[in-house]
Amino acid sequence: MSVDSMKQFITQGDFDYIFDAPMCDYTTLKIGGKADILVQPRSIEELTLIISKAKENNIDTFFIGNGSNLLVRDKGIRGIVIKFGANFAKTTVEGEIITAQSGISLSKLACICADNGLSGFEFAAGIPGSLGGGIVMNAGAYKGELKDVVFSVTALTESGEIKTFNEDELDFSYRHSCFSHTNMLVLEAKLRLEKGNKAEIKAKIAELAQKRRTTQPLEYPSAGSAFKRPMDGFAAAMIDSCGLKGCTVGGAQISQKHAGFLINYQNATANDVTKLLHHVQEVVFSKYGTMLEPEIITIGEE
C-alpha cells in the first residue's frame, strides 16, 4: 500500500484527518514542512487500526502530542503523523485520583485539578505540552515533576499489547521514563493529588504564570528549554556565560531574556534551529568540556 492508497483507506473511514498537513501548525516552534497524513484518533480502536494498516504496508508512523519539544525538518514527514490532542483527552476525577487520557494538555489538566480543589499539579500549568509527551520525558518545572504525581500509566507496547505500568515500573528520573527511547505509546495515566483550597491553588498557578511571563520569552514561538540540564551545572547558565544570549542563525535565536530558550525569532527554518543548536553545543563544549544534550526532538526529512 502506497501513501496514496493509505489516504484512500483513511478517506473511506470515519477518521479525523488532514492530508499534506503543515507541521508548523502542530509544533510550538511553528516550524516544519508538510506531513503526508495527519490523523487525530478518537479511541484506542481507531489508533490500533491505523497503526496496524500502516505497519502491514510498511508506512512510517510518527506520534506527537502538543509538539512542544519537537522540531520538524523543512521537507516535512513522509508517512502518517498520529496526533494525540483534544480527541483523546477524556478525564475523570474520583476523590484525589485523576484518570486522564494522554492527549490532554498539561495546562488544561492543571485547571481541572484546581477546579476540583486538588493540589500538587500547579507546577505543570505553564508547561506547553500534553500529558502523554510529558510522561515520556518526565516533564517538570519549578521543583515539580510528573513523577511526583503519576503512579500508573497505560500504554500500547511495541508488540501491540495494552499494558499498565505501576509506579515501580515507570523508571522516572530527570527527563526520563521507561517510555523514553522506545516506540511505546502512552494512552492514559492516573495521578494522585492532595485535597487543597481552590483559591490558594489558583493563586499559586497565577503566581507561577506571572513568573514565567517575567523570565521566559513567551512572546515568541519556542520549544521550551532547548537543552537538558547537564550533570555539572545548568545549561542556561553555561550558555549565558559563553556570551550566547541573542546569538542568531537565520531566524533562530538564543533568547535574550532566558539563555535556555531557543526561539523562532523571525520565520526560522528547521535548518536554522539545527545550526544554532550545534553552534551552542560547540561553544559550551570548548569552554566547559560538557556536551549539552538537546531536549528538542528532531524528526522528518532533511
Give pLDDT tens digits for 197-250.
999 999 999 999 999 999 999 999 999 899 999 988 899 999 999 999 999 999
Among residues 172, 200, 228, the one where a domain terminates is 200
Which band of pLDDT confidence, cut at 50, 70 and 90, is reported for residue 4? confident
Chain-centre distance of CA 165, in angstroms?
20
CATH of the domain at 261: 3.90.78.10
Q: Which of 4-8, 79-83, 196-200, 225-229 has the lowest mean pLDDT?
A: 4-8
- Does residue 181 have a pLDDT over 90? no
- For residues 24 and 32, the answer to whether their CB atoms sit within 8 Å is yes
Which band of pLDDT confidence, cut at 50, 70 and 90, is reported for residue 98? very high
Q: What integer pLDDT is reported at residue 278 of this predicted model?
A: 98
Q: What integer pLDDT is reported at residue 185 of this predicted model?
A: 93
User: Which positions ≥6 away from 165 have C-beta within 8 Å?
Assistant: 152, 153, 154, 155, 178
Residue 104 belongs to a domain: yes
DSSP helix, strand, coil percent of the chain (3-state; round to 5): 30, 30, 40
Cα distance between residue 158 and residue 170, in whole Å = 16
Q: Strand 61-64 and strand 77-83: pairing?
A: parallel
Annotated active-site residue in 175, 177, 222, 255: 175
Task: Report residue 222: phi and psi, to 5°.
Answer: -155, 175
> Is 194 a residue of the active site?
no
Q: Where are the beta strands (DSSP E) in 105-218?
A: 118-119, 140-141, 144-145, 150-156, 162-166, 185-192, 194-195
CATH of the domain at 93: 3.30.465.10
Q: What is the mean pLDDT of residues 55-71?
A: 90
Q: Residue 71 sits in which domain range?
A: 3-83
Q: What integer pLDDT is reported at residue 119 of this predicted model?
A: 97
Q: Could you tell me if 79 and 94 lie in one domain?
A: no
> Is 46 a residue of the active site?
no
Q: Could you tell me if 160 and 185 lie in one domain?
A: yes
Task: Report residue 48: phi and psi, to 5°.
Answer: -65, -35
Q: What integer pLDDT is reported at residue 1 of this predicted model?
A: 53
Residue 212 belongs to a domain: no
> Is 293 a residue of the active site?
no
Q: What integer pLDDT is reported at residue 150 of this predicted model?
A: 98
- For residues 130 and 103, the answer to whether their CB atoms sit within 8 Å is yes
Based on the structure, what is the number of domains in the chain?
Answer: 3
Q: Could you tell me if 61 and 94 lie in one domain?
A: no
Residue 205 belongs to a domain: no
Residue 194 belongs to a domain: yes
pTM across the whole model = 0.89
